[in-house]
Amino acid sequence: MSTILGDQGHRANNFDALRLVGALMVMFAHAYALMVRPQDIPIVLGYPLQTLGVVIFFAISGYLITASFDRNRNPITYLLARSLRIFPALVVVVLLSAYVLGPMVTVLTREEYFAQPLTDQYVVNNIRLFAQFVLPGVWDDLPYPSAVNGSLWTLFVEFLCYLAAPLAFLFPRLLRPFAAIVAVFVIIHYAEAPIEESPIFWAVRLRDAAGLWVFFAGGAFIRFALQAWPWFKLRGDVAVVMVSAQTVIAWSFPDYALETAWLTLPYAVLTIGLARTPYVSRTARFGDFSYGLYLYAFPVQQLVIDQWGVHGAVRNFLTVLGITLVLAIASWHLVERPSLALKDKILHRRVRPGSAEPTAPAADREPESASA
């Protein structure tokens, strides 16, 4: 495995494969959670598997989103580009859930379903990243009742990261790693707050959001450290030692795990992600399906349980994987790729008079995190 630290802009890396693994981890863990068997969810490095999958997304995002803003400091085009990545596919899955899936599975009549305020509220709220899980009369009697798409809450958490990332560039390059470290420990304070003292904002508990923000900040720290500190490198042997130590800390001193996980997990994820592994680095040559898998898996899992009953988590996962992959492929080709093409046009810096050649758009250089 060759790590690309001197050529981090090269498209041939393992980020696409890692995001796909993260989405599959979330899907597999939800197969247990939606059957109300949380005790059977695999625990890795002290985290439930679905949480670790989302951590992968946020660590990659912290690195790549700060890199994206570093290349194009225009805040308008930056936010427009971020919005074009996250919202088009989200809008489609929300509309399909409310106006196609909902009428098919609700216990209400079609007229009653569309007369309920919750139906249109589901669309409006989720598009503005205010997570609403409930549709009227939908899946109230499932083992995990009334939740149509429980994955959507993380999108608001990630979008706030998009808004916060440019603040790091108020500091000189040499100070950015220190600014990221300060941010990490402020975030940890909120992530470790007692649940009864943690406020809820925009349908998300601050404690839960902070538990993901810390890994975005960790990914950003690594990006800044690689730029500012010549001695800072990503090494596979160091990553193995750090993960081994994190395993011991997670099981022996769980109350202190986050104080080291914020660096250990992003370090390991980015060491793998920035490597160029044969075949693995070409995972997305047919398309980046990780965001579509993340968006569609939860409602498909609930639909499978509703239609065919509870038949084991592994069977649920395999059945859902086939259906969701088809939806993710359609989402990529019909929604996400056209949106990314528009994003690339917006980010493309045209040739100025006297310049030798155009600068390629950011998306041609590094893949960007689809979501949490």
pLDDT of residue 89: 98
Is a pLDDT exceeding 50 seen at residue 352? no
Residues 146 and 172 sit within 8 Å (Cβ to Cβ): no
Rounded to the nearest integer, the mean pLDDT of the chain is 89
pLDDT of residue 347: 67
pLDDT of residue 233: 95
pLDDT of residue 331: 97
Residue 184 lies in a domain: yes
Looking at residue 260, its amino acid is: T
Six-digit token string for 254: 């769980």
Residue 224 lies in a domain: yes
Percent of the chain with pLDDT over 90: 77
CA distances from 94 to 87, 126, 330, 341, 359 (A): 10, 7, 15, 22, 36
Residue 369 lies in a domain: no
Looking at residue 134, its amino acid is: V
pLDDT of residue 11: 59
Other C-beta atoms lying within 10 Å of the C-beta of residue 6: 6
CA 55 to chain centre: 8
Containing 251, the helix (H) or strand (E) segment is helix 236-252
pLDDT digits (tens, 9 = 90+) for 226-260: 999 999 999 999 999 999 999 999 999 998 999 99
Please tell me the total number of residues recorded for the chain in this structure: 372
pLDDT of residue 371: 43
Residues 157 and 204 sit within 8 Å (Cβ to Cβ): yes
Q: How far apart are CA 372 and CA 360, in angstroms?
A: 27
Is a pLDDT exceeding 90 seen at residue 279? no
Residue 370 lies in a domain: no
CA 358 to chain centre: 31
Residue 371 lies in a domain: no
pLDDT digits (tens, 9 = 90+) for 130-140: 999 999 999 99
For the entire predicted model, the pTM comes to 0.89
Looking at residue 145, its amino acid is: P
Report how many domains make up the chain. 1
pLDDT of residue 344: 77
- Among 74-88, 255-269, 342-356, name the one with the lowest average pLDDT: 342-356
Pairing outcome for strands 275-276 and 200-201: unpaired
pLDDT of residue 351: 33
Which residues neighbour 122 within 8 Å (Cβ) at sequence distance 6 or greater?
A: 94, 97, 98, 102, 132, 134, 135, 148
Is a pLDDT exceeding 70 seen at residue 358? no
Query: If DSSP codes are grouped into helix, strand and coil, which group holds residue 123?
Result: helix
Confidence band (pLDDT; 50, 70, 90) for 12?
confident
pLDDT of residue 72: 86
pLDDT digits (tens, 9 = 90+) for 293-341: 999 999 999 999 999 887 788 999 999 999 999 999 999 999 999 998 8
Is a pLDDT exceeding 90 seen at residue 206? yes
Residue 372 lies in a domain: no
Reference 225, options 267, 193, 195, 253; nearest CA is: 267
Residue 339 lies in a domain: yes
Confidence band (pLDDT; 50, 70, 90) for 86?
very high
Residue 85 lies in a domain: yes
Other C-beta atoms lying within 10 Å of the C-beta of residue 339: 18
Average pLDDT on 181-186 reads 96
Domain that holds residue 223: 2-364
